[in-house]
Each structure stands twice: as C-alpha cells, then as structure tokens.
Amino acid sequence: MLKIYISSIFAILPCLAYSSALPVINLKIDKNIIKAEVASTASSQQLGLMYRKSMPEQNGMLFVFEQKAGHCFWMKNTLLPLSIAFIDDDGKIVNVEEMKPQSEENHCPLKPIRYALEMNSNWFEKRQLGAGKLVMGLPKP
C-alpha cells in the first residue's frame, strides 16, 4: 500500500510543478494577440514549460530577465516542440529558433536580450513573424 501511495505522489509532482498560477498578460505582434504566462523569477524560468503535454495555439510563455544578456534555452523535460523568439529591450524580435522536445541543444539569441517568448512549434513561421517584428505589451523588468 505504501509503495503505491509513494509512486502516485511522484507521478503527480511534475503536474503540480507547473500548476501554480503565473501572472498572465496579453501581448500583440501585428494582429496576433497572445495570452502569455510571465516567468520572471529564477524558479519559474527554470521550470518554464516542462512536463506540459499541450498548450492552446494563442498561448505562450514570456521570460523576463532583469539583466540583458545572451540567455540561452534548452528543452530538457519539455514534451512540446516549441518556437522561441528572442526579443530586445525595444520589443523587436532579434531571431526565432525551433526547439525539439526533450533536447539539451542550446538555443541562443544573436545578441543580448531581455525577453524570450516561447510558443508552439512553427507559430512564428506560420504567421511570417520574424526578426524586426515588434512585440507590444511587454512588461518592464
């Protein structure tokens, strides 16, 4: 009985890890409205979108960093294929990368950034949103 109980607890821990409510804001790129969870603490940034099995098409996660730097990302324990847009202080997309699930490959901005926006795979490409496009509604770090 104890073995079953303990294994059940460990099975739901990843689900509980991302169920805590992060602040949600609306962003806009051209005519596209995005409902973005904001990861602005070290712990929320480290967890990111890990363990999630799905995400609505217009939802994403915005990473907000206090320091402008070459913040790189990987996909360890992330089950969804994602696109990431690296965004500068002025809200302009610097570059977009495609990221494969459960990969430890690094994805980095082409120059120092303060923001990164993760969306479902190919989200930016499908809408022809790339370098130079303006992301509106970004919070101040």
Residue 27 has pLDDT above 70, yes or no: yes
Q: Which of 6-15, 71-80, 102-111 has the lowest mean pLDDT?
A: 6-15
pLDDT at residue number 20: 52
Residues 18, 58, 114, 131, CA torsion sign:
positive
Q: Distance between CA 106 and CA 29 in Å, rounded? A: 25
pTM over 0.95: no
- For the chain, give the mean pLDDT: 89
Reduce the DSSP state of residue 3 to 3 states and report it. Answer: helix
The residues that bridge with 118 in the sheet, in sequence order, are 61, 84
DSSP code string of 49-77: TTT-----TTEEEEEEEEEEE---B--TT
Other Cβ atoms less than 10 A from the Cβ of 79: the count is 15
Q: Is 74 exposed, middle or buried (0-12, 13-18, 19+ CB in 10 A)?
A: middle
Domains of the chain as residue ranges with CATH:
21-136 (2.60.120.1140)
Helix extents (H) in 1-115: 2-17, 42-47
pLDDT at residue number 34: 98
pLDDT at residue number 4: 45
Reduce the DSSP state of residue 6 to 3 states and report it. Answer: helix
The residues that bridge with 28 in the sheet, in sequence order, are 33, 136
Residue 1 has pLDDT above 60, yes or no: no
